[in-house]
Structure 1
Amino acid sequence: MEDGIARQSAGYTPSVWGDYFIKNQAPCSSTTQKTEELMRERVEELVREVKNLLDNTYKDELQSLELIDSLQRLGVGYHFEEEIDKRLREYHDHNGKIEGNDLQAVALKFRLLRQHGYNVTSGTKYKDDEGKFQSNLANNVRGLLSLYEACFLSTLEDDILDEALNFTKHHLQSLSDNDQLDSALKILISHALELPLHRRIPRLGARYYMRVYEQDKESKNDIVLELAMLDFNLLQLLHNEEVKSLSIWWEKIVHDAKFNFSRDRIVECYFWILSVYFEPQYSMARKITTKVIALLSITDDIYDVYGTSDELQSFTDVIIRWDEEAAQQLKEYLKVHFHNLTKALQDFDNELSSHGKSYRVKYLKEIFKVVVRAWDEEVK
């Protein structure tokens, strides 16, 4: 009971993280700073070496495609965006077809080109006279795996890829128990059958793939592996700093305002966005988007659980007009929430202005209005 009003409660459980990301951070010292600096210098050296590798593999199409695929799966492809884009453009057949007979090379090229937005056709070159997939394809294990992964980038017009999915899945399932297979390849098959690459979270996939890549005698390159490990650790430091700053911000938003009715899920909000773009150049975007989702989460809980219909109607009117004067007449918790929304948008404006992108904040404000209108209709 609050202000004589019986408030609902959704009974949300506390965050499993608590204040972990606020208190459990590595101490910043001259030694750690020096270590990080040396790591960055080594990464720069390795990036230059890998660029040379990309240049040197140009004439061997399969080797080049495998290197590109490994770089992307290991989470370091962002260092080589220009080189990879250029290479794929060069490999792309202008009439939309993919030439070649090596199943692994053809399937891998198809997947990489589709991933990068090229409109390439799937073709029927691996079918026999009876319209079935050639039986000898089952002997090309890496080719089968590449084709299986490629099938998940099909469109409505790619009926052949639906057939290929059934064909490859059947043979890969039988191969997954084959003790004669290379251990790394066997792990990749099992992993792909559990969930294909196209449906996985890149950041989690990179950590997993590092362990597999290290065991893969056929594909492993020590320079690439060292780069992947160092880069992963450096990005982990950045991501930890981001989630720490967001946790501190959230602590102030929720606990100072006594929003104990709302879900405490700031870490989950951050991980959601980290899954979309993990690269360092998107640090500001991650933090802003996480805050937006978190603020929307509070607003959602206000409409779904805590607010009365009269309170929500008044709040909706204030949001739609974005009227700071009228906001002073709201219930205290709504007044505080509106203040937090306004301050967050002003902070976003300040951050984006140095990049010439502050105009985007007005569109975000309009989105808030659209969402609030929808929740208000839902309440009615």
Structure 2
Amino acid sequence: MASHDATATATVPEMAPVFHPIVWGDFFINYNPEPLQMSEERMTERSNQLKEKIIGLFSCGTIVEQLNLVDTLQHLSVDHHFHEKIDSTLRSAHAGEFNSSSLHHVVLRFRILRQQGFWVSPEHNTNNKLTFRWWKNLYREVGLNYSRDRVVECYFWAYTAYYEKEYTRASMILAKIIAIIIMTDDTYDVRATLVECRQWEESATSFLPEYLQKFYLKLMSTFKEFEDELKPDNKYRVAFSTKAFQILSSNYLQEAEWFHQNHKPRFNDQVKVSSVCSGGPWICVGLLVGMGDAATKEALEWALGCTDAVRACAEVTRFMNDLASLKRGKNKNDVASSVECYISEQGVASEVAIAKIGSLIEDAWKTTNQAHFELPELLLPAVQRVANITISMPFMYDNKTDAFTFSSRLEGTIKRLFVNPIKL
């Protein structure tokens, strides 16, 4: 008992803490507010007018605009005035099909419905559905029937860089960038005239044919969607991506000029331009846009500079694609490949040129590996994602085949990843 008392005594403070006196004193006892500038009846009338105006907003606009309205009313803590309208809106949002390709809109719908007690599956498959819907709308509205319809393969390609759930946003943005590269490449190679290519490069949109005007507008809209997906202090990343696209377009134009002039460039000149036209450099910049905090401004500047690992990624993509094109054939506006230019310049047989290109691919792999050891630690997360994309190239172009264009070769891999679950 003595021990128990000692312990109890030890935990009791010697004296109670001193609390400061009431801040308000008798203020509210003696307080008499000034008379209102309008009568109670007038205030009630004005309040009812505003309520009717807000109720009217529920009857117009898209489902996204209505969900934004609900979100605003909840933030202002006045949603209890509109209980019936909010309930009706949420029931419609829950029951109806939701076709937005914006991750922000999907998250808004998910959050509001969930917090109001409506069940919404957290599984996403949602991110790939958003990407597929975005492509379907773009393909239909622009009229891209001349281009390869390969959005699933684009999604798979992005997945090779970002397979973790926490990088869903980065993967979606990258998939769209890859799809835009394919679409732009096919536009230059298959559809657009040289004049149209020059007008596109000069942003002379008013002179472009209707399909290219639509393409341009959808492209600008997509870049704006990228910005909307990012936090305010990360929106600057989209400017790097836009710059990379401009560089890509300039090099596409150079290839178009060579083709229409029937000019076969020197090997080094061809590689310099066609490596950019592989889309690899923009992919390496674009994969950083939706990444987390590791995607620093320094990392974006490094990627845009197209050195070491980024250049190696572009070269592996270009050379493996060119080797595959020997089998598949070229599009009608394709410029001479690296293999053809080497044969012409060196006067060698195709077997010698193919061996040379193979050795350059090996050199590019070495550059990719060296980048992990030679670059600052700050850049290593970005380097690894670039390496992931480079490593994916054998999926697309191994054994001198173009599995991306002739995508039945990827069907089994894609099904194993996204369709058929692993049996436990």
TM-score range relative to shorter protein: 0.3 to 0.5
Which structure's relative contact order is higher, taking Cα pairs within 8 Å and 6+ residues apart?
Answer: 1
Greater Cα radius of gyration, structure 1 or 2: 2
